[in-house]
Amino acid sequence: MKNLENVQGDERDVIVFTLAFSEDERGRIPLNWGPLTRAGGERRLNVAVTRAKERVVVVMSFDPVKLDLSGSTSQGLNDLKDYLLLASAERTTSARSRRGARDAHLDEVAGALAAAGLEVRTSVGLSDFVVDLAVRAPNSSRWLALLLDGPAWASRLSVGDRETLPPSVLTRMGWTRVERVWLPTWLRSRDRVVEHITKTAQGLDVSEPAGVKTLSAEVSRQLAAPPPFRTEQGGPIAPSAASPAPVAAVAPIRRVEAVDALATYRPAVETSTYAAVHLDSPNAQSRALIRGEIERAIAAEAPILVDRLVQVVAHRFGLSRVHERRSQQLQREVSGHNVRRSENGDRVVWAAGADPQAYTGFRVPAAGAQRPLTAVPYEELRNAMVQVASDAHGADREAIIRETARLFGTGRLASVARPRLETALTAAVRERRLVLRDGTITAPEPRT
């Protein structure tokens, strides 16, 4: 262990960077950090955090957001806060990747266990040791940790890391018991797996092992948070008006400030309501029906791509496929509404009076669902990219594209999705909503 002044020239695979400061009894963090706060402290910090070949692990006891620098002019302390915010954002992004926030299998297992009467939490834990699911029986004080054979499990390089290390570490961290849920077994015997987990969770309080450790305060806080969804008939559904708001379950972006950035995408209903014959009928009643359905779809989903709107209306009139001639006919009906051409070439229908230039929100699908990127208007893709870049304090092009895709529920970038995101990113830079400098993409500084 070395202090800040004595790390010059050292180099290690992994550096553990420990901050020996914490909040006082008034919740304030001191601003006198010795050499760091003196002239040249920023250079000492630069040396300290660039000694690692592979990874820097930061150990601290406070949220960097709480480091109030309004009373300090120290460049070193300012740089430290920026570094800690960046590290915190990276931890959130990488943890989200490991935890598979859009893992349909995890959501299915969680829904089935909740339907069986268990209390369920998803993605609970710290660092590399995150429990996919934590469940407990009603009125029980003990939680059962469940590990799935998902991406985090597959990414571990050795059999020991996959099969031996996680359960042993989790047990030492205070989990009473750790169980596995294997996908093949789940597919063959779902009911049996649910029954086994339910009985195991119910029996944890009966024979609690002696000397069991207590879970950390952070893990306990995660377990105390409201569940991300309620269930009906075993399936996860959107929270009702009376349900607690999801905690980081819908939008996987950290520190979102804009209220509309947390909006959940609710697609317009496409159920067939009228016969297709109305589309070719010249009478006034049929024309009125078509105009009415267009207006209802706009009210439900605007901003909406013209092609998407045409598809919704066609489906409402009983068509399963929309041929070119039919598409052109419906596009003519749509043309009388608030249609704008986006920076990337999209034709988007907006609600009457809406200003696309002032729109800063985006709508993400409900947990476990996917919103096809080809049906997301450019402005929403752009705004999501701006939020990703802002949260990450800058990232490369590939990271921005992949994280944006995850926001909309897409894990793999297919041949259609990737070019669309590439085009949207290029347009956002051209529009100066994003800044590209030396390969790094950042969000522009807010205007004062």
Condensed to tens digits (0 to 9), the pLDDT of residues 289-326 reads 999 999 999 999 999 999 999 999 999 999 989 999 99
**Which tokens go with 238?**
């959107």
Q: What SS3 class is residue 407?
A: helix
Domains and CATH numbers, the chain: 4-99 (no CATH), 104-205+214-236 (no CATH), 276-358 (1.10.10)
Sequential DSSP letters for 320-337:
SS--HHHHHHHHHHHTTS
Percent of the chain with pLDDT over 90: 30
Determine the pLDDT at residue 261.
38
Sequential DSSP letters for 191-240:
HHHHHHHHHHHHTTTTTPPTTPPPPPHHHHHHHHSPPS-EEETTEEEPPP
Q: E strands within 106-190?
A: 119-126, 129-136, 144-148, 177-181
Condensed to tens digits (0 to 9), the pLDDT of residues 105-155 reads 888 888 889 888 898 888 887 655 678 888 998 888 888 888 888 766 666
Condensed to tens digits (0 to 9), the pLDDT of residues 328-382 reads 999 999 998 999 999 999 999 999 999 999 999 999 998 778 899 999 999 999 9
Identity of the amino acid at 432 = R
Condensed to tens digits (0 to 9), the pLDDT of residues 34-55 reads 888 888 888 888 888 888 877 8
Condensed to tens digits (0 to 9), the pLDDT of residues 189-241 reads 889 999 999 998 888 865 554 445 567 776 777 777 666 544 443 344 333 33
| pLDDT over 90 at 279, yes or no | yes
Determine the pLDDT at residue 367.
77
CB atoms near residue 377 (< 10 Å): 28
Condensed to tens digits (0 to 9), the pLDDT of residues 387-428 reads 989 888 888 888 899 889 988 988 777 777 889 999 999 999
pLDDT band, very low/low/confident/very high, at 9 (cuts 50, 70, 90): low
Strands 119-126 and 177-181: unpaired
